[in-house]
Amino acid sequence: MSTNLEIEFKNMLDENEYHELLNYFSIHEEQIWTQKNVYFDTLSHDLKRQQAALRVRVKNNTYELTLKTKAEVGLLETNQMITKADYKTFKHDHQLVKGPVYDALVELGIHVDELRVMTDLTTKRAEVPYENGLLVLDKSFYGEVIDFELEYEVKDYHEGLKIFNDLLNKHNIPTRPAENKIKRATAVAKK
């Protein structure tokens, strides 16, 4: 289990910009992996109302449970590795394994047994260290929709913002705000 502060900047890309950045950073196909995010909330959207999100990320046969809650700057992430059996029990029987994420949900007043799968998405991801941070290039699939996104994860907000904007300018990429993935996936699921 870990808790960390997530400070990241995001920008939507078009397909050409995505491929140009892959080339610029010498990222090859074998450096890109696939992960699936499955998002949970109550039917009355109790997490969303608290500006929180809960997901299970499935990657290389590992299952990471993550609760994101609003912080003064960025998001507070509570992460917990769970087993495949834990994931299936949560997804199908609505019983979440006890641990730090469960405790944090209870602290938020969430009835854990009311959590249900809201949506999911698959992402092809590449990461590269960049200027005291981590640059992430995502190609995400939500049903029939495909989008491309650049993320930059940092420790310092002000330094990160400058570096991120400089990177966009250097590559002539217009600023295109990116909603978080759960919002984009949910919007597609509603169509």
Please give the structure tokens belonging to residue 39: 């998002």
Which positions ≥6 away from 40 have C-beta within 8 Å? 47, 54, 55, 56, 90, 115, 116, 117, 118
Chain mean pLDDT for the chain: 95
Are the C-beta atoms of 176 and 184 separated by less than 8 Å?
Answer: no
Domains of the chain are 2-190 (2.40.320.10)
pLDDT, residue 188, reads 80
Q: Over the stretch 98-123, which tens digit does the pLDDT of each residue have?
A: 999 999 999 999 999 999 999 999 99
When pLDDT is averaged across residues 116-138 and rounded to a whole number, the result is 97
pTM, full prediction = 0.91
pLDDT at 42 over 70: yes
Buried b (16+ CB within 10 A) or exposed e, 165-189: eebbeeeebeeeebeebbebbbebe
Report d(CA 88, CA 3) in Å as an integer.
24
Among 184, 124, 130, smallest CA distance to 8 is for: 130
When pLDDT is averaged across residues 20-41 and rounded to a whole number, the result is 97
